[in-house]
Amino acid sequence: MRTEHPTFDARHTHTQSDHSLSRVSNTQLIQKTLKTTGGYFPKQQHLLGLSVVLLGSLFSIWLNDRISDWTDGKLLGLSSLTLAILIGMVLGNTLYPRFAPSLSAGVIFSKAQILRLAIVLYGFKITLTQVASVGLSAVVIDALVLSSTFIITYLLGTKWLKMDRTTTLLIGSGASICGAAAVIAAEPVVKAEAHKVTIAVATVVVFGTLAMLLYPMLYQMGWLAGVIDAQHYGIYIGSTIHEVAQVVVAGNAISPEAGNTAVVTKMIRVMMLAPFLLLLSVFINSTNTKDAKTLSSATDYQQNQPNKLELLAQRLKQIHVPWFAFVFIAMVAVNSFLMASPTPMIQGFTERMIDLDNILLTMAMFALGLTTHFSAIKQAGIKPLILAAVMFFWLILGGAMINVLIGLI
């Protein structure tokens, strides 16, 4: 009897294997999506901390209203967001550490998930007309500030201060794009140790908070007056201040219009995070490749090196896409559609969303203040602080120069 040729079975087995891999891949994608969206629903361990943060935010809003009544207007651009982070910082360095074990889960949830949700809902304050008014110049300014800040940080840190490359890359990422979020996103790409991440985040918190308070004061003092108007000052804020939350505070301390422009500009900068991380991964891999070639023979190196597809897959896995920035743009589009033909019901809905967003933003600021510890400044050491300070002044002065030059074109 003739034996059946095994080719068909092999092909059939191979096809089944492909279908199985496809099903596994789809299942993993669904599980990852559910895990991501599920992270935005508070759990029981979050409730106590969330309650404290909510009370703190409501008190900050109430206090801001009382101060506005007493001073007949905001004092030096003071807002509920500024008050929330300042009150939070005072409590965070006095009373909060005693209760941190039971409150930290809700506080961390507030400064992460609540902040992203607040940024998404911020889209109800902005329309596509306002986004278009920012123009291509804001994109160019963001790109120039990002690239120049990162390159200068890297050169100063590694060549002048002789710092280790990993800490320098983390500080450069935080100063260039979106503060602590960029540091955390860059951590798996640069394979940083925990204490180096802490140092980079500390520098971002220190100088980002200074920028948040300083920029409105500089505006009141006439910084760049006659050179750029209030709206372009919003672009200046959004393109140079570290954190999204800090941009919201600084922009709205000047005017709602400047705040909206600042947030749009900042979100464009945040959306540059994904391509930045991919380029950062390519840069690190290329430098590691050079180091590997010098430490081993060419033959051994070629045998141990993964193929190009594997390298690309590894890099893509390491990238943490800031999806909330894209959802923010989608929400702006939804708000623009609603405002195209507003009815009393639509206007009422939009106003409720704006009120909710104000509460959520204040909650995030209060939580950020609670977790800002002065001990982090000591832990950072002198060299990272020197580097971050130099880049702080570069963002103020160099960022102003870039904004003015692009504004003149």
Angle between the N-to-C axes of helices 344-370 and 96-109, in degrees from 0 to 180, rounded to the nearest 10: 140
Q: Which residues contact 361 (CB under 8 A, 6 or more apart)?
A: 81, 115, 118, 122, 245, 248
Instruction: Determine the pLDDT at residue 107.
Output: 92
Instruction: Determine the pLDDT at residue 27.
Output: 46
Reported as a single tens digit per residue, the pLDDT across 26-73 is 444 444 444 544 577 888 889 999 999 999 999 999 998 888 788 776
Q: In angstroms, rounded to a whole number, what is the distance separating the alpha carbons of residues 125 and 100?
A: 34
107-127: average pLDDT: 83
78-103: average pLDDT: 86
Reported as a single tens digit per residue, the pLDDT across 251-263 is 988 888 898 899 8
Given a cut of 50, whether residue 18 has pLDDT beyond it is no
Instruction: Determine the pLDDT at residue 177.
Output: 86
Instruction: Determine the pLDDT at residue 371.
Output: 84
Given a cut of 60, whether residue 303 has pLDDT beyond it is no
Q: In angstroms, rounded to a whole number, what is the distance separating the alpha carbons of residues 287 and 85?
A: 40
Q: In angstroms, rounded to a whole number, what is the distance separating the alpha carbons of residues 100 and 97?
A: 5
CB atoms within 10 A of CB 317: 9
Chain mean position to CA 200? 14
Q: In angstroms, rounded to a whole number, what is the distance separating the alpha carbons of residues 200 and 181?
A: 11
Average pLDDT of every residue of the chain? 79
Instruction: Determine the pLDDT at residue 151.
Output: 95
Highest mean pLDDT among 186-190, 318-322, 347-351, 389-393: 389-393
Output the CA angle 163-169-171, nearest 5 degrees: 85
Given a cut of 80, whether residue 119 has pLDDT beyond it is no
Say which range, 89-103, 145-159, 361-375, 394-408, has the weakest mean pLDDT: 361-375
Nearest residue to 203 via CA among 236, 176, 175, 178 = 175
Residue 58 identity (one-letter amino acid): L
Q: In angstroms, rounded to a whole number, what is the distance separating the alpha carbons of residues 149 and 331?
A: 30
For residues 333 and 128, the answer to whether their CB atoms sit within 8 Å is yes
267-274: average pLDDT: 81
Instruction: Determine the pLDDT at residue 307.
Output: 62
Q: Which residues contact 90 (CB under 8 A, 6 or more apart)?
A: 369
- The percentage of the chain sitting over the pLDDT mark of 70, rounded to a whole number, equals 78
* 252 to 125, 233, 238, 249, 378: CA distances (angstroms): 12, 11, 11, 6, 31
Instruction: Determine the pLDDT at residue 156.
Output: 95
* 155 to 159, 164, 250: CA distances (angstroms): 5, 11, 29
The dihedral sign for the CA sequence 179, 182, 188, 190:
negative
For residues 174 and 183, the answer to whether their CB atoms sit within 8 Å is yes
Instruction: Determine the pLDDT at residue 241.
Output: 93
Reported as a single tens digit per residue, the pLDDT across 211-225 is 988 999 999 888 888
Reported as a single tens digit per residue, the pLDDT across 192-215 is 776 787 788 778 878 988 998 899
- The percentage of the chain sitting over the pLDDT mark of 90, rounded to a whole number, equals 25
Q: In angstroms, rounded to a whole number, what is the distance separating the alpha carbons of residues 131 and 371?
A: 33
Say which range, 82-91, 160-169, 206-215, has the weakest mean pLDDT: 82-91
Max distance between CA atoms of the chain, in angstroms, equals: 103
- The residue to which tokens 């520098």 are assigned: 203
11-30: average pLDDT: 46
Highest mean pLDDT among 10-24, 46-60, 370-384: 46-60
Instruction: Determine the pLDDT at residue 191.
Output: 79
Q: How confident is the model at residue 77 (pLDDT cuts 50, 70, 90)?
A: low
125-140: average pLDDT: 82
Instruction: Determine the pLDDT at residue 322.
Output: 59
